[in-house]
Structures are given as C-alpha cells and as structure tokens.
Chains A and B, each alone.
Chain A
C-alpha cells in the first residue's frame, strides 16, 4: 500500500499543474477505489451524453424547429456518418418552406455526439451570438435544430437556403474532462462539395474551456470577417 503523505504541498503543486489524473496513489499496482470510481463516473457521463437526448423543456424554451437526418437510431448515427450529413426529404421540404431564404447568417444547432453540450451551452452562446451579430450589423435567418446531424450537413442546408455564411453549433465527442463540450463550425457560402479546409471552427466551448459567451461574441467576429473577405477556412484572415 503506497500512501502519499510525504511532501503534501509539493504533491499538490504537481497535481494543480495539469488536469491529468496524477498523484492518485495505488494499492499494490492498482489505483485507489475512489479514483477508480471517479474515472468510471466520468466515463458514464460521457456515454450518457452520447446516447442521451435533449430534454423537451429545452425546445419549449427556445422554440427551435426540429429537423431530422436519416439516422433514426444512435447506432445508425455512429456507424453511418454519411447519413448524418443529409436531411430527410421531410426535413428538406420543411426548411425550404419555413425558413428564410438567402439570409445573411444562418444558424443551425445539432446534438452531434453530445446532447449535453447543447443543453448546457446554447443558453449562453446563442444570445451572446445574437448580440454580436447585432453589434456587427448582421442579420440572421430562421434558426433550427438538426437531430443527429454531422458537420457536413451544413452543405445540404447551404444548398437549400443559400445563406452568405452559416454557423453550426454542434455537440463534440465527449471527453472525460467535459461531456458537454460544443464546437462552432463556420463557412462562407457552404454548398454540396465544400471541403473541410473551407470551414473554420471554434472548439472546446464549455464552462471549463472556451467561455461560452466569448465564443458567441467571437463567432460574430469570424462571420463578419468571412463576409468582408468573401472567403472562409484557411484563407480567412482573422
């Protein structure tokens, strides 16, 4: 049994210097019970975030219309990324009929790989984003939600609604440090066939990472730059 009692201050300093799980001690060669259970719990949160759904109350608060991709189940979503890049035909006709065409800015939200990311961050990111659009003199179209979407479904949406710029707020693959981390993918005139390097991204948006309100504010700045420079991705100068 190894007890870490000596040099406690020094140990504390080492632990503070990294979010890695160090200074945890062991019994024999195995980790202590509490630290082992902590790992299992963090993993459980991450798994539940992948497989969980956004609660109804969220949609009652925000009134985002919901659009589906052909991925009916999580298993299908995980195994068939190609299907997550499309909308169902009902979804396509819904946005064609109900969303503003050719908006300057189109905002799309999707659970992606973490429902919790949307649940915990939209409340802060979204209004800060609207503030920054107003502050930069930009107007936005009809925001909607895509269930089980992948980043590249930006292209299909771009093809239908023809926005000047599109931002997709999507749940990231959960890590153990944060199960609710969100990314914002942005693209100038996204259309089918847009390549990855034409998109810009701000990732790691959550309480303990990129601050959600600052992310919202910065998205406005990036979109403004895309409109000014008429490009996005690696060629964009921010």
Chain B
C-alpha cells in the first residue's frame, strides 16, 4: 500500500492508512480538534489521491481498529458478505467510485455490492466523492422497510413527528402531535424525546401516542427515545411500543459511554420482537451523528466520517426500520458551520444507503454553530433530491425541549410539493380518507391542529 506521493513537485508522506483516511476528509472542526486533520488543502487532496489508489483488500487487511480490540469491528467483519467481497476485492476506491456513479449500475446492484463492503471501505469511497456525487449515487438506492406501515418507496418523503415538550406534558405533546398530523407529518414515526428518563413516564407517552393512533386509525408507528434500558423496562411493564430506539456510536468504547453494548442490543432486539406492538419485520430506530466518539474520547484517532460509517455497520446488523443522523446537533467543535454540516449530512446519507439502511437526516443546527434556517432549507432540498427516506418535523423547526433547530412540519410539506414527493403510501391514503389531502395535495383543512379535536376519530 502506497503512503507517499509527489504532486506538482511536492512530496507528501503519510505514516498509516488511518492518517490517510483522516487527512482525506473534507474540513471538519472535529478532526482538527482531534489533531488528525490535514494541515492544508493540498495535503488533503494529496491524501485523496493516495486513497483513490488503495485497493479494497488493502483496507480489509489493515483495519483501523482491530476486531480483537473492538466488538463493532468484529460484528462488521462477521456480517460481511464474502462472496460479494471476493468479486471486488482487487478494486481500488477510485474504481469503486466510478462503478457506483455509472449509469449502468442501479440501486439494487449497489445494495448487493454494499453487502460486500466494510464500513471503512464505504467511508473511504465517500471521501473521494463531491457533494453532487453523493447526491447522485444515493438517489439511485431505495431502501424500503416495514414496521406497521412501509416507507422508503420511490417518490416518497416521510416525516417523523417530533412533538417534544420541555416537561413531558402529555397534553402539550398531544397538541404538537395534532399540529404535525394536520400537515401530513408523522408517517415515519411519532417519536418523542422525553425529558424524564423513567419507565413510568415513557409508558405514559407510549400509551398516549398509541391512543391517538388507535382513535384515528393512523398507519404509523410510535416510539419514545429514552435510553434503551428504560424503554425495555417500560415494555416489560406493558407499554405499547412499536419501535425501540437507541443512539449508536462507532466504537465499543464510545458505545460504552452511551451505556450500551452488543449484548444489550441483542437483548433489546429479542424483547421488541417478542413484546413490541408492531406488526412488521423492522422494529429498530437508531440515531447517529459525526463526532460522538471524539466527545467521549473513544475515537482511537480515527476520523469522524469513518467512525460514523462504522455506526451504520453496527446498525445494519439489526435490520432497523429507520436510522437518522442528527447531523448538526453536536456543536461547532465537531462541525463548525453550515458548509461542514451540509457535507456531513450528504456523506452520512450516502454511506448509510450504501450500507442498505433506511436513512433519514435530522437537518439541524444549534445556536452556537455558524448556521441558520436558510442553511437548513438548502440542505433539506439537497437531501430530498438525494432520496432521503425521511426528515424530522418539529413545530416551526424549533425544538422547545432539545433546544436546537431542525426542519419544520411546513418544510417537509413544502419539499413534497416542490419535488413531487408523497407521504408514505398508507399514510397518504389515510390523509385522503380524513380529508387533509386531495389528489396528492394538502387541502384547506391542513395546518389546523383543532381538526383532531372537532371529530372523535374515524371508521
């Protein structure tokens, strides 16, 4: 494997694949904070050159984190489709990039190839792609999953209703949920981030959301995004959960900081298939985001794009219903400004899709990041064009509990109109049935949360 290159009279020498991978990243404040980023732009491009010549088998033989040291690596290794891998193991990353972008290669084929790629290979090819490459390649892949209802079909843009409340008031959550539904949002999931991480509180919220779903016969799924152990307790106490949720990180040590490991995920997996209320085969909801490994100092000097890819390697083991990256939540020390957030959002979406994941993105930012609502508008359009499975819907984009800004109920409705996308099929039929949609467009009654007060359910 070549670690030295001369371009335009200047020689660039790197010590390891890990260093090349890190320096080939687009600029991210998190890599700079970890002191592994390229020193200047030309060093970055030089690293990309070297990376482009690297063969897939070189990558497999030089893991950035060995399986003996880390259970995430071990899982990714053991899940790899060897026959697919053997077909392409002598390709360079450059060849892989061109293959994925070629017109002859469709989404189905890409998903098949993806099964033979480790997360590090997928991260590697991502570093060679421009933003438009990422959009183009990702847009070919459809990942359809089913919990109670299905999403991910061609031409579908789903939305998570995220009706959070700063003190978990059931009335407040319900009011915000009515607003979401009135804009046709909630087909991905009705998902609440609770303030109070106790099983009794989680159960109450699950019961309330389930009641709304039953009253109105809504073809969707519910989830309360507490720590997985709290959800497990709530489910054991009889709480009606369609999905089980957990945040993932890309290393064993970082997952440890989240209070999880593969054994615990396996246990939760067994529980949700046994005790969960969903009818379909996909029962997990995962969230990820670049930078979380560094924030718990468990990054092993690996760059944040590669670590993020490893989250997807872990996630695909559990055949989730939905995954999303909370791309701008972590703060400016990892993604400094809108340019970095935009790049990270497109990278994460592409990498997850190539892993075969039903990927959504929480297009978001915090108030100490150099970004604003206009930047989110831009990224949301880019991702919707790239075929993102779902976006996050928050009232006026302002989450009054998590204190950050995401995309709004209005935004998702707008993107659907603008790019001729629809809600998930069953959900769209439901919207038409109750009169909130007509011929694929929101009706005059949309946008009024009292719609769900005036009539007590249908059918």
A49 to B178, CA, bound (A): 33
Q: Which of B29, B446, B449 has the most CB of A within 10 A?
A: B449
B208 to chain A, nearest CB (A): 13
Q: Given A17-B175, A18-B175 in contact, is the A29-B414 Cβ separation under 8 Å?
A: yes
Q: Are B333 and A80 neighbours in the complex by a CB distance under 8 Å?
A: yes
Contacting residues, chain A, for B178 (C-beta < 8 A) = 14, 22
A57 at the interface (CB under 8 A from B): no
Q: Which of B281-322 contact A (CB under 8 A)?
A: none
Partner among A14, A29, A177 whose Cβ is within 8 Å of the Cβ of B413? A29
Contact with B along A19-37 (1 / 0, CB 8 A): 1111111101111000100
A201 to chain B, nearest CB (A): 14
Give the contact-size bracket for chain B: 35 or more
Chain A interfacial residues counted at CB < 8 A: 43
A97 at the interface (CB under 8 A from B): no
A208 to chain B, nearest CB (A): 10
Q: Given A47-B367, A82-B33 in contact, is the A40-B373 Cβ separation under 8 Å?
A: yes
A18 to B164, CA, bound (A): 9
Q: Are B449 and A22 neighbours in the complex by a CB distance under 8 Å?
A: yes
* Cβ-closest chain A residue relative to B449: A14
A79 to B171, CA, bound (A): 39
B398 at the interface (CB under 8 A from A): yes
Q: Are B448 and A2 neighbours in the complex by a CB distance under 8 Å?
A: yes
A24 to B395, CA, bound (A): 9
Q: Which of A217-233 contact B (CB under 8 A)?
A: none
Q: Are B417 and A20 neighbours in the complex by a CB distance under 8 Å?
A: no
Q: Given A30-B414, A31-B410, A79-B332 in contact, is the A18-B367 Cβ separation under 8 Å?
A: no
9-residue interface stretch from A3-11, A59-67, A87-95, A125-133: A3-11
A92 to chain B, nearest CB (A): 23
* Cβ-closest chain B residue relative to A82: B33
Q: Are B172 and A173 neighbours in the complex by a CB distance under 8 Å?
A: no
Q: Are B368 and A78 neighbours in the complex by a CB distance under 8 Å?
A: yes
Q: Are B396 and A24 neighbours in the complex by a CB distance under 8 Å?
A: yes
B169 to chain A, nearest CB (A): 7
Q: Are A14 and B175 neighbours in the complex by a CB distance under 8 Å?
A: yes
Q: Which of B190-210 contact A (CB under 8 A)?
A: none
Q: Are A42 and B373 neighbours in the complex by a CB distance under 8 Å?
A: no
Q: Given A10-B450, A29-B417 in contact, is the A50-B367 Cβ separation under 8 Å?
A: yes
Q: Given A7-B450, A10-B450, A39-B397 in contact, is the A78-B367 Cβ separation under 8 Å?
A: no
Q: Which of A17, A82, A177 has the most CB of B within 10 A?
A: A17
Q: Are B410 and A18 neighbours in the complex by a CB distance under 8 Å?
A: no
Q: Given A18-B173, A22-B395 in contact, is the A78-B336 Cβ separation under 8 Å?
A: yes
Partner among B331, B400, B405, B410 whose Cβ is within 8 Å of the Cβ of A20? B400
Q: Given A26-B447, A79-B32 in contact, is the A18-B397 Cβ separation under 8 Å?
A: no
Q: Are A7 and B453 neighbours in the complex by a CB distance under 8 Å?
A: yes
Q: Are A17 and B29 neighbours in the complex by a CB distance under 8 Å?
A: no
Contact with B along A47-86 (1 / 0, CB 8 A): 1011000000000000000000000000000111110000
B6 at the interface (CB under 8 A from A): no
A113 at the interface (CB under 8 A from B): yes
Q: Which of A18, A78, A177 has the most CB of B within 10 A?
A: A18
Contacting residues, chain A, for B404 (C-beta < 8 A) = 175
Contacting residues, chain A, for B33 (C-beta < 8 A) = 79-82
Contacting residues, chain A, for B400 (C-beta < 8 A) = 18-21, 175-177
B88 at the interface (CB under 8 A from A): no
A99 to chain B, nearest CB (A): 29
* Cβ-closest chain A residue relative to B414: A29
Contacting residues, chain B, for A15 (C-beta < 8 A) = 175
Contacting residues, chain B, for A14 (C-beta < 8 A) = 175, 178-179, 449-450, 453
A47 to B375, CA, bound (A): 15
Partner among A31, A46, A175 whose Cβ is within 8 Å of the Cβ of B396? A31
A163 at the interface (CB under 8 A from B): no
Q: Which of B32, B398, B413, B453 has the most CB of A within 10 A?
A: B398
Contacting residues, chain A, for B366 (C-beta < 8 A) = 173
A174 at the interface (CB under 8 A from B): yes
Contacting residues, chain A, for B439 (C-beta < 8 A) = none
Q: Return the 6 tightest CB-CB contacts between A and B, nearest first.
A: A175-B403, A18-B172, A21-B396, A46-B367, A14-B175, A22-B179
23 example contacts (A-B, Cβ-Cβ < 8 A) are as follows: A4-B448, A7-B453, A10-B454, A14-B178, A17-B169, A17-B171, A20-B165, A20-B398, A21-B396, A26-B410, A26-B447, A29-B183, A35-B396, A39-B373, A40-B373, A78-B333, A78-B336, A79-B333, A113-B368, A173-B367, A176-B398, A176-B400, A179-B367
A17-B175, A18-B169, A78-B332 given; 14 more Cβ-contact pairs under 8 Å: A7-B453, A14-B179, A14-B453, A18-B163, A18-B400, A19-B400, A20-B396, A20-B400, A22-B178, A22-B449, A50-B368, A175-B404, A176-B400, A177-B403
Residues of B within 8 A of A (CB): 29, 32-33, 163-166, 169, 171-176, 178-179, 183, 331-333, 336, 366-368, 372-373, 394-398, 400, 403-405, 408, 410, 413-414, 417, 442, 444, 446-450, 453-454
